[in-house]
Amino acid sequence: MPEQVKILFVDDEQKVLESLELVFRDTPIRLATSGDEALKILRAEEISVLVSDQRMPKMSGVELLREAKKISPHTIRILLTGYSDLEQVIDSINTGEVYRYINKPWDNAKLRETVQFAARMYEQQKELRDMSKGIKSSASTSANDTTIDSSIELLFVDKNYEHLRGLKETFSEMRPTHVTADVDEGYHLLETRPIGVVVSDVLLNGFDGADFLAAVKERFPDVVTIMMTSSKDSSVAVRLINEGQIFRYIVKPFPKEAMRSTIDEALRRYVLQKQQPSQNLKRQEQQVATAAVASTSSNSQSLSQLLEEVRQRLAEKKTY
């Protein structure tokens, strides 16, 4: 077995690092007490998982994640923090593209599980990358430059008809755009139409938008999900990270242009994930998980069944 890729822990509190060192005493790890130090390590070594504190002097955890994404895009990013306000949580989604958000104090066993799970995902992605490198030419990775297939459709779910109309007007010129206030209809559309991006409000009629997006991600891991909301709630945002692998969290009201570019980015992500399944953390997560436990989920489920199953799985979940 080749040498395991290292996990990097960053915290300005030495004693936290000392504990983590013992928790991961059987795993190859690196420690850093500041963002700068962490970036130096990221530049010099291959790191599978980056676990960082949020509130640190000079460079915050989110800032570190953002820089880390540039230096080492495949490193899986996790925040382990004592407190973050909503702004920081949203930033961690939108700019840090964080994989997990873990609160201090933490549970050693769960933390170990989550981090090791992420490390396994990293290893798998890497294998997939190496495999596709052999097969495909480098041309296929240029999703950024190519225009996105206009057959990919958009879905907006919101209980506010006014908003739905506005979204329909804005996006239907570009590509087929579905809007609905009915969650079941939205789910049906996902099953029948080639939808690439789902944007949902947090408050839906009789439904929690976060639940809906988590279920969508569970059932359609390739679909890119975006939460839009006018009510800011950091616990919802944290749930969306940990359970829904949310792509973006946007706060109403937002500028039309910002929404356009967010949708563009989401579509690009969708195309990229389709081309390179290794880029899809959720798919990876499911593959790693199914390797451990045989999955029972069938492909034809009603939304309520799916929601129930997702909720149950989350309740039993050992990792964050």
The contact set with other proteins (CB under 8 A) reads: 12-13, 15-16, 18-20, 22-23, 25, 53-55, 57-58, 80-83, 85, 103-109
CB of 34 to other proteins, least distance (A): 11
- 3-class secondary structure per residue, the chain: CCCCCEEEEECCCHHHHHHHHHHCCCCCEEEECCHHHHHHHHHHCCEEEEEECCCCCCCCHHHHHHHHHHHCCCCEEEEEECCCCHHHHHHHHHCCCCCEEEECCCCHHHHHHHHHHHHHHHHHHHHHHHHHHHHCCHHHHCCCCCCCCCCCEEEEECCCHHHHHHHHHHHCCCCCEEEECCHHHHHHHHHHCCEEEEEEECEECCEEHHHHHHHHHHHCCCCEEEEEECCCCHHHHHHHHHHHCCCEEEECCCCHHHHHHHHHHHHHHHHHHHHCHHHCHHHHHHHHHHHHCCCCCCCCCCHHHHHHHHHHHHHHCCCC
CB of 99 to other proteins, least distance (A): 19
CB of 319 to other proteins, least distance (A): 16
Residue 55 or residue 126: which is nearer to other proteins going by CB?
55
CB of 250 to other proteins, least distance (A): 16
CB of 20 to other proteins, least distance (A): 7
Residue 84 or residue 242: which is nearer to other proteins going by CB?
84
CB of 293 to other proteins, least distance (A): 24
Residue 69 or residue 252: which is nearer to other proteins going by CB?
252
Written as six digits, the tokens of 209 are 């938008």
Residue 23 or residue 152: which is nearer to other proteins going by CB?
23
Number of C-beta neighbours around residue 165 at 10 A: 11
CB of 31 to other proteins, least distance (A): 13
